[in-house]
Structure 1
Amino acid sequence: MQTLQKLGQSPIGLTLPALTILLCVFGLPILLLFLTSFNAPAFSLVNYQAFLSQPANARVLLQTIQVSVVVTAICVIIGYPMAYLITAASKRLRMVLLVLVIIPYLTSFLVRTYAWIVILGDNGLINSLLLGLGLISGPLSLIYSRMAVYIGMIHIMLPVMILPLVSVMMGIDKSLMAAARSMGARPFAAFWRVFLPLSLPGVRSGLMLVFVFCLGFYITPAALGGLRDAMISTLIAAQVASSFNMAQTAASAFILLGIAAVVLSFLGLDLSDTRTLGAPPARKSWSSGLHSFRTLTRYLNELASPLRANLWAARLYQAGGSSGWWTILGVFFVLLVMFYLLFPSLVVIIMSFSGGEFLEFPPSTLSLKWYRSFFGDPSWTGAAWTSVQIAIAVAVLSTIVGTLAAYGLNRTYPRVRSFLTLIILAPITFPSIVVGIAAYFGLLNLGLIGTKMGIILTHSIGAIAYVVVIVSATLANFDRRLEQAAKSMRAGPLQTFKRVTLPLIRPGVIGGALFAFIHSFDEVVKTSLVSGFAIRTLPLKMWENIRNQIDPTIAAVASLLIFMPLLWLVALHVTGWRPTLRAQSVATDAAS
C-alpha cells in the first residue's frame, strides 16, 4: 500500500490513468491477439502459412505495399519543394500557406474521399465537363481504378508530408546557406551539400507517417478503387464482418504490423550522420600522369581564386536574371498544389446548394433543399448528435488523462520518459485497422462491443496520444522556476498546479482537447469494428450512404464538416494556442 501511495505521489504516477486505459483497451488485447495468431499455447505458424499460401492474399499484400510506396514517393516529390517554398516565403505569406495546408489536414478524410467521388464519377465534374465540351461521347472510367486510389490517397496524405518538412526546415539556420554561397558554392550545390542533409529528419518523419498511414488505409481504396484495388485493411475488415475466426484475423493484422515495423526500423536509423566531406585518398594504382594532372589543376585553381572572388563580389548585390523565372515557376507550383488540396472541397460546397434532383456542377438552380433534408431527417441528425456526444466525452476524458500524463512525463528521467512516451503514442503509430482489431478483441472480452462506452474508450487511446504530444510541446517551453517560486511561498503541489502551471499551459490543453474532439468525430475505421452495428455515428452513416447510394444529402453534410476546421482554427486563435515550431517538431518526432 505504501508503495502505491509513493507511486501516486511521484511524477510517473500521473501517467497511470493513461497507461491503464491503454493497457486495457489496446496493450493487453494486442498481446493476446499476438498469442492467438500463433494458436497459443500450441504455438504454430499455421495461420500465417494459411494466409500466405492463398494467392489472392499474397496479391493483396503486395498490392498494399506497392500502393503505399507509390503514394509515399509522390508525396515526397510534391511535398518537399512545397515545404521549401513555404519556408522561403515571407512570414505573413508563410502563415497563410500553412493555414491553407492545415485546413484540408483537419478536414474529414471521409469528406475528402467523397469529394473525389463527386469529381471522378461517371456523372462527376470531369466527365460532365468533357461531355459538355463535346470532347468525349461517353463517360470515362475515372473512378474505381488504381489511378483514382492514388489521387485520393495522395490528396489525403500530402499535408501529412508537408507539415513535418516545414517544421524541420523552419529550424534550419539560413545563414549556413549564405556561408556556403560566400565560399563560392553555387545555389544548387549549397542546397545539396547544406540544406538537404539538415532537412532529412523531416523527410524521415514524413516518410514514416505517410507510409504507415497508407498501409492501414481502408475507406479511400474501398470507395475509389475497384475489386482489383483492395488493400489488406479491406481484407481484414471483411474477415471480421464475415467470420469470428480471430486467429486468422490476428495473423492478417500482424503481417500488416510486421511490414510497418520493418519500415519503421529501417527509417528510424539516424539519417543525420556527419560524413567526411574530404575526398578519399588517391589509390596507389593510379598512374603518375593523373597525379600530375591533379597538381596542374590545383595550381590553376589557385591562380583563378582571386578572379572568382572578384566575380562573386560583383554578383553579390546584383539581381539574378534567372531568379524571376524560378520565382514564377515556384508561384505556379504553389498555386497548383493549393488548387489540388482545396478545389475538391470547394466543389462539394458549391454542389451542395444544387436545387436539382441530382448533384451537378455548376448547379443549374440554387437551393437549400439538401440542408433541409439533413436537418429534417432524424437518422442524420441522430447520427450527428451521437458523434457529438461521443466526441465530447472523448475530449474530456483524453484531456484530463493526457494532461496528467504529459505533466508527469515532463518531470521524469529522460530514458523513462522516452520509453513511456513510445508506449502512449503506439495507437497513433500503428496502422489504424490493427488498432481497431486489438480494441475489438479487448472490448469483446469486457462485453463493451456495441456500446457508447466501448467507442469512447477506443477513440480515447488515440486521442490521449494527441493530447500528450501537444501538452508536452507546451511544457517544453515552461519555466519550472515559477513553480519553485510558488512552492517557496508555501503553496502546495495542487495549488501550484491550479494557480501557476495550468494557466500557463492552458493554450496547449485547449489545443489538445480540440484535436481529441476532431480525432473522435472523424473516426470511422475503428468505430465500424467496435460499434457492433448497434450505434451509428455521423461518419458511419456517411460511409454507409456512400457505399450503398449516392444521396445528395451527403453533399450538405460534407459541406458542414468542411467548415469545421475553420471553426477549430478560430477557436485555437481565440484561446491563444499557437502551433510553434517547437510544438510541431515535438509532434512530428513523437509521432514518428
Structure 2
Amino acid sequence: MRTLQKLSRLPVALTMPALAILLIVFGIPIFLLFLTSLNAPAFSLVNYRVFLQQPANVRVLLQTIQISVVATAVCLMIGYPIAYLIAATAKRLRMVLLVLVVIPYLTSLLVRTYAWIVILGDRGLINNILLDLGLISSPLSLIYSRMAVYIGMVHIMLPVMILPLVSIMMGIDKSLIAAARSMGAPPFAAFWRVFLPLSLPGVRSGTLLVFVLCLGFYITPAALGGLRDAMLSTFIAAQVASSFNMVQTATSAFVLLGIAAVVLLLLGLDLSSIQARATRPLPKSWSSTPRSFGTLARYLNELASSYRSKRWTAKLYQAEGGSSCWTIVGTLFVVVVMFYLLFPSVVVVTMSFSDGAFLEFPPSTLSLKWYRSFFGDPSWTGAAWTSVQIGVAVAILSTIVGTLAAHGLSRVVPRLRSSLTMVILAPITLPSIVVGIAAYFGLLNLGLIGTKVGIILTHSIGAIGYVVVIVSAVLANFDRRLEQAAKSMRAGPLQTFWRVTLPLIRPGIIGSALFAFIHSFDEVVKTSLVSGFSIRTLPLKMWENMRHQIDPTIAAIASLLILLPVLWLIAIYVTGWRTKAKSQSGPPDAFV
C-alpha cells in the first residue's frame, strides 16, 4: 500500500492515463499488427517479399515516396523564404502574418480540398475565366492530375513547414548577423555562414513533419488525383473497404510505417547541438590535407587580407543601397503566398451565397439557399450534431488526460521526458492511415467498432498529443517558485495545482481544448475506418458527397467550418487577455 502511495506521488504517474489510452487503442494493436505481418509465431518475411514482388505495389510505393518528396521540397522552397520574411518583420505585422498562416492550418482539410476541386474542376473557376475570355475553346484538364495533387498537398502542408521555421528563426540572435556584417561579410555571406546553420533545426523539424504527413495522405490525392496518382494510403484504404485481409493490410501498413521510421531516425534525432558542432575537431580528411596545399592557402589568404581590410573600412560607414528593391520583392512574395493560402477559402465562402443551381464565382445573385438546404436537411444536421457530440467528448477527455500528462512531464528528468513525449506524440507523427488501421484492430478486439465510444477513443489518441504539446509550451514559461511559495504556506499538492498552477496555465488549457475539438471535428480518415458505416459524422458525409457529386450545400458547410479557426483564435485572444489583465491587477489572494 505504501508503495502505491509513493508511486502516486511521482510526477511520471500523471502520464499513466494518457499512456493507458494510447497503449490500449494504439500501442498493443500496432505491435500485434507487426507480429501479424511477420506471420507470428513462425516469424518470416514472406509477406514483405510477396508485397515487393508485385509490380503494382512497388509502383504505388515509389509513387508515394516521389509525391511526398516533391511536395516536401516545394513546401521548403516556399516556406523558408516566407518564414524568414515573417521573422524579420515588425512585431505587429508579424502577428498578423502568423494569424493568416494559422487560419488555413486550422481550417478543415476537407474544406481546403473541396476548394481546389471548385477552382480546378472542368467547370471550375479557372476554366470558366479562360472560357469567358475566349482563351480556350474547351476546359483544360487541370483536375485529376499529378499537378493538382501537388497544388492541394502543398497548400495543406505549407503552414506545417512555415510555423516551425518561424519559431526557430525568431529565437536566433540578430546581433550575430550584425557582427558578421561589421566584420565585412556581405549580406548573403552573413546569411549563409551564420543565419542558415542556426535555422537548420527548424528546417529539419518542418521537413520531417511535412514528409511523414505526406506519406499518409489519403483524402487529397483521392479527390484531386487520377488513377495514376494513387498513394499507398489509398491502396491500404481500398484493401480495408474491399476485402479486409489482415495480413496484407498489416504488411502494407508497416511498409509505409517503415519508410516513416527511417526518415524519423535519419532526421528526427539531433545528437549534437550547434555549440557541439562549433567545437568539434575538423574531420580527418581536412587535417590530413597536404602541407603544400595549406601553405598555398595561407599565402593567398595573406594577399587577400589587405584587400579585405580596405573593403571593410570603405563599407563600414557606407549607407546600404538596393534594399528597396529587395523589400519590394519580399513584399510581393509574401502577398503571393498569403493569396495562395487564403484565396481558396475566399472562393468557397463567396460561392456559398450563390442562388444558382451550380456554383459560380462571383455569384450573379446572392442568396442563403444552400445554407437553408443544410439546416433544413436532417441528414446534414444529424451528422453535424454527431460531430459536435464526439468533438466535445474528445476535447474533455483529451484536455484532462493531456494536461495531467504535460504537468507530469514537466517535472521528470529530461531523458525520461523525451522518451515519454515521443511515445505520446506517436499518433500525430506517424502516417494517419497506419494509426487508423491500428485503432481499427484494437477496437475490433474490444467490440467498439461502429460506436461513438470507439470513435472518441480513436480521436483522443491524437488529440492528447496536441494538448500535451500546447500545455507543455505554457508550462515551460511557468515560474515554479509560485508553487514552492504555496507549499511553504502548507498548501497540499492538489490545492497548489488548483489554486496556483491551473489559473496561470488556463489559457493554454482552453486553447488545447479548442484545438482538440477542431482536430476531432475534422477527422475523416480514422473515422472512416472505425465508424463501421453505422455512424456518420459531418466530415464523413461531406467526403461521401464529394466523391459522388459536387453538392453546392458543401460550400455552405465549408463556409461555416472556416469560421471555426477564427472563433478559436478569438477565444485564445480573449482568455489570454483576461488572464493578463488579472495578473496585472495584483497578486492572487488564494492563500490569504
Q: TM-score, normalised by structure 1?
A: 0.94
Match of 2:311 in 1: 308
Partner amino acid for 1:88? A
Match of 2:550 in 1: 550
Task: Report the secondary structure of 1:205's partner residue.
Answer: helix
- Contact 1:125–1:361 under 8 Å retained in 2: yes
Shift of 1:7: 1.8
C-alpha separation between the residues in 2 aligned to 1:299 and 1:194?
24
Over residues 356-385 of structure 1, what are the superposed CA-to-partner deviations in whole Å (9 max), with x where a residue is unaligned?
000111111111100000000001000101
Shift of 1:308: 2.3
Match of 1:176 in 2: 176
Task: Report the secondary structure of 2:479's partner residue.
Answer: coil
Shift of 1:265: 0.9
C-alpha separation between the residues in 1 aligned to 2:502 and 2:297?
70
Greater shift, 435-444 or 8-17, is seen at: 8-17
C-alpha separation between the residues in 2 aligned to 1:2 and 1:22?
28
C-alpha separation between the residues in 2 aligned to 1:475 and 1:293?
52
Alpha-carbon spacing, 1:202–1:303, altered in 2? closer, same or farther (3 Å): closer
Show structure 2 runs of 5+ residues with no match. Answer: 579-592
C-alpha separation between the residues in 2 aligned to 1:250 and 1:299?
64
Shift of 1:268: 2.4
C-alpha separation between the residues in 1 aligned to 2:296 and 2:499?
76
Alpha-carbon spacing, 1:432–1:283, altered in 2? closer, same or farther (3 Å): closer
C-alpha separation between the residues in 1 aligned to 2:518 and 2:87?
27
Greater shift, 3-12 or 510-519, is seen at: 3-12
Match of 2:152 in 1: 152
Alpha-carbon spacing, 1:186–1:456, altered in 2? closer, same or farther (3 Å): same
C-alpha separation between the residues in 2 aligned to 1:220 and 1:334?
25
Alpha-carbon spacing, 1:280–1:61, altered in 2? closer, same or farther (3 Å): closer
Identity %: 78
Partner amino acid for 1:537? T
C-alpha separation between the residues in 1 aligned to 2:306 and 2:447?
83
Q: Does 1:95 align with 2:98?
A: no
C-alpha separation between the residues in 1 aligned to 2:232 and 2:84?
34
- Contact 2:182–2:316 under 8 Å retained in 1: no
Alpha-carbon spacing, 1:323–1:246, altered in 2? closer, same or farther (3 Å): same
C-alpha separation between the residues in 2 aligned to 1:30 and 1:281?
48
C-alpha separation between the residues in 1 aligned to 2:197 and 2:297?
32
Shift of 1:3: 3.0
Over residues 232-266 of structure 1, what are the superposed CA-to-partner deviations in whole Å (9 max), with x where a residue is unaligned?
00010011111121111001000000000111111
Shift of 1:461: 0.4
Partner amino acid for 1:150? Y
- Contact 1:511–1:577 under 8 Å retained in 2: no
Match of 1:523 in 2: 523
C-alpha separation between the residues in 2 aligned to 1:140 and 1:212?
32
C-alpha separation between the residues in 1 aligned to 2:541 and 2:134?
37
Greater shift, 5-14 or 330-339, is seen at: 5-14
Alpha-carbon spacing, 1:140–1:307, altered in 2? closer, same or farther (3 Å): same
Show structure 1 runs of 5+ residues with no match. Answer: 579-592
C-alpha separation between the residues in 1 aligned to 2:18 and 2:563?
32
Partner amino acid for 1:218? Y
C-alpha separation between the residues in 2 aligned to 1:292 and 1:80?
38
Match of 1:582 in 2: none
Partner amino acid for 2:432? S
- Contact 1:507–1:577 under 8 Å retained in 2: no
Alpha-carbon spacing, 1:519–1:307, altered in 2? closer, same or farther (3 Å): same
Q: Does 1:7 align with 2:7?
A: yes
Alpha-carbon spacing, 1:120–1:481, altered in 2? closer, same or farther (3 Å): same
Match of 2:329 in 1: 329
Q: Does 1:49 align with 2:52?
A: no
Partner amino acid for 1:499? R
Shift of 1:202: 0.1
C-alpha separation between the residues in 1 aligned to 2:334 and 2:537?
36
C-alpha separation between the residues in 1 aligned to 2:304 and 2:535?
76
> What is the CA RMSD across the aligned residues, in angstroms?
1.9
Task: Report the secondary structure of 2:365's partner residue.
Answer: coil
Counterparts of 1:230-249 in structure 2, within 5 Å, are 230-249=230-249
Alpha-carbon spacing, 1:552–1:484, altered in 2? closer, same or farther (3 Å): same
Match of 2:406 in 1: 406
Q: Does 1:215 align with 2:215?
A: yes
Over residues 54-74 of structure 1, what are the superposed CA-to-partner deviations in whole Å (9 max), with x where a residue is unaligned?
111110000000000000000
Shift of 1:76: 0.4
C-alpha separation between the residues in 2 aligned to 1:235 and 1:281?
52
C-alpha separation between the residues in 2 aligned to 1:292 and 1:250?
61
- Contact 1:508–1:577 under 8 Å retained in 2: no
Q: Does 1:499 align with 2:504?
A: no
Counterparts of 1:47-446 in structure 2, within 5 Å, are 47-270=47-270, 272=274, 273-274=277-278, 280=286, 283-284=289-290, 286=292, 291=295, 295=299, 297-315=300-318, 318=319, 320-446=320-446
Shift of 1:569: 0.4
Over residues 21-62 of structure 1, what are the superposed CA-to-partner deviations in whole Å (9 max), with x where a residue is unaligned?
010000011111111111211222222122211111110000
Partner amino acid for 2:31? L
Partner amino acid for 1:389? Q
Match of 2:508 in 1: 508
The total of aligned residue pairs comes to: 573
Partner amino acid for 1:311? A
- Contact 1:474–1:508 under 8 Å retained in 2: yes
C-alpha separation between the residues in 2 aligned to 1:442 and 1:292?
68
C-alpha separation between the residues in 1 aligned to 2:46 and 2:289?
55
Partner amino acid for 1:335? V
Alpha-carbon spacing, 1:362–1:302, altered in 2? closer, same or farther (3 Å): closer
Which aligned runs of 4 or more in structure 1 are off by greater than 2 angstroms?
A: 1-6, 268-287, 290-295, 297-310
C-alpha separation between the residues in 1 aligned to 2:444 and 2:421?
27
C-alpha separation between the residues in 2 aligned to 1:50 and 1:293?
57
- Contact 2:511–2:568 under 8 Å retained in 1: no
- Contact 2:518–2:564 under 8 Å retained in 1: no
Task: Report the secondary structure of 1:576's partner residue.
Answer: helix
Partner amino acid for 1:16? M
C-alpha separation between the residues in 1 aligned to 2:296 and 2:478?
62
Shift of 1:139: 0.5
Partner amino acid for 2:107? T
C-alpha separation between the residues in 2 aligned to 1:498 and 1:283?
64
Over residues 385-440 of structure 1, what are the superposed CA-to-partner deviations in whole Å (9 max), with x where a residue is unaligned?
10000000000000111111111111112222111111111111111000000000
Task: Report the secondary structure of 2:244's partner residue.
Answer: coil
Match of 1:36 in 2: 36
Task: Report the secondary structure of 2:317's partner residue.
Answer: helix
C-alpha separation between the residues in 1 aligned to 2:488 and 2:560?
51
Alpha-carbon spacing, 1:284–1:358, altered in 2? closer, same or farther (3 Å): closer
Alpha-carbon spacing, 1:281–1:507, altered in 2? closer, same or farther (3 Å): same
- Contact 2:184–2:308 under 8 Å retained in 1: no
